[in-house]
Structure 1
Amino acid sequence: MNEKGADRLLALFADARLTPTQRRIAHALIQHAGAAAWLSAAEVADLAGVSQPSVTRFATALGLDGYPALRQLLREAAGPGVTETPGGKPNDVQHAVRHEAANLERLAGDLADAGRLAAAAAPLAGSRPLPVLGLRAAAPLAAYFGFFAAKVLPDVRVLDTGGTLLTDRLEQARAAGATAMLAIVLPRYPREALDALAEARALGLHTVVITDSPVSPAAEPAAHVLTARVGAGLVFDLHTAPMTLAMVLLQAICDAVPEETQRRLEEFESSAARRQVFVP
């Protein structure tokens, strides 16, 4: 996707007040911009699982003259395609990896506003305990974040399984003093994750969400939304940029409580040396 065109699309979608159905259309167009640029309104409707009139109303809700104008915008975003390299055209795997590199480059640009990251980190740094939600595809990212966050925060609770116990654990965290929650919500968005976000808000928790797009269904109920694109070039999604964003957020949490971070890291190193956790 052409970077300038992609930025234009994301800005257009993010600034509009979209209904849940229209958010589904926006997400489908972002995820499949290269193909959608050449589809009819009916084919886009099938792609998003909505009706054809919904696609037409979506285009007008964006302030465009109609679907043809939206399709032209998509074609501009799609760009001219991949050019040949000295070794010939990249294969599908190379293309997927290069797309991940582009996702990281875009993330680096988005992180230019350090104040926005610090604002999201501050409530997480002060929450005792800190619940970290990640279901299905996001569960490994939540576990990875939680593993390292536990080295600098005294009580990190990774919530990586759904069911009725999930609400129990949220209520227990709130009763124990939690004031904020980090949620990692990635495609395909689990209904249980969205329900847990709603429950967290009802409990009075300050919610920070890492997701893939400003039009993600997880973005609307969150106090702070941080986005990193998911790679869709292989059979299963690539989460390189979201994982990087999670660790950048953890760095910002450490920066928010530097003395506690240093003290707990020193305590861990002393304990690890005493127990001979690592091979010399």
Structure 2
Amino acid sequence: MTQSKPNRPLQVLQLTDPHLMADPHGELLGVNTRDSLDAVIAQVQVDGREPDLILATGDLAQDSSAEAYQVLTDRLAQFACPALWLPGNHDDAVVLGHAAGAVGGQKQLVMGGWQFLLLDSSVPGHVHGELSDRELAFLERALARSPELPTMIALHHHPVDVGSRWMDNIGLRNRDAFWAIVDRFPQVRVVLWGHIHQPLDQQRGDVRLLASPSTCIQFAAGSADFAVADLAPGYRWFELHPDGALATDVVRAENFEFSIDLDSTGY
């Protein structure tokens, strides 16, 4: 079991929705997704961040290609820590699993006094999310076995409405089943996701609900229909204490120069 560095809380980096492609010139609405990921990683390094763990929370590839996942592998190799991967709706879970390997493909990790549980909410051929009976059983079993460990649950699809009609239609469909399990276990401190390409910070009882900017394009908050925002890509950072206390912030790569197609009606 990997331990955090002594005398400081566990440092966790979330990178989400890079939408990488086999084509090195591949763009999403005018933004080269490799360049934008590079800019975010450079920002992490400029900020002096030294993660103990990286969570890559889905839509890691736009085209589900092995080449795109290799790009992510190469980029994450800049950090001397493990990275856990989970699939989003643009990913091929099988191809991603091969790329992630034994370490990156772990669904459960105990580190720095915390438990991390990663769920696959992807539904092949669909944009919305759903947790299979197998995923729900894994979640319940893992929580029941470690009631003493503060826990972060990560998945790709949002399990609550986020105030954007088009996004709320493609969130987690069986969220009631998810919350029926989570609500029984007070050790759950955080539910974290990607998919919505924007930061969100809410509270549900004692559970912190968090979403984060994409490392490529950003969706406009509160939009009824598909819309993007002229905002820089970014990352989320956590400091996690063994007693369950946490601090988190979002940082954007403001120096990244890009031109986004604000008139797009989809991607």
TM-score, normalised to structure 2's length? 0.33
| Greater radius of gyration (CA) | 1
TM-score, structure 1 length as denominator? 0.32
| Higher relative contact order, structure no. (Cα contacts within 8 Å, ≥ 6 residues apart) | 2
- Which one has the bigger helix percentage? 1
Higher strand share: 2
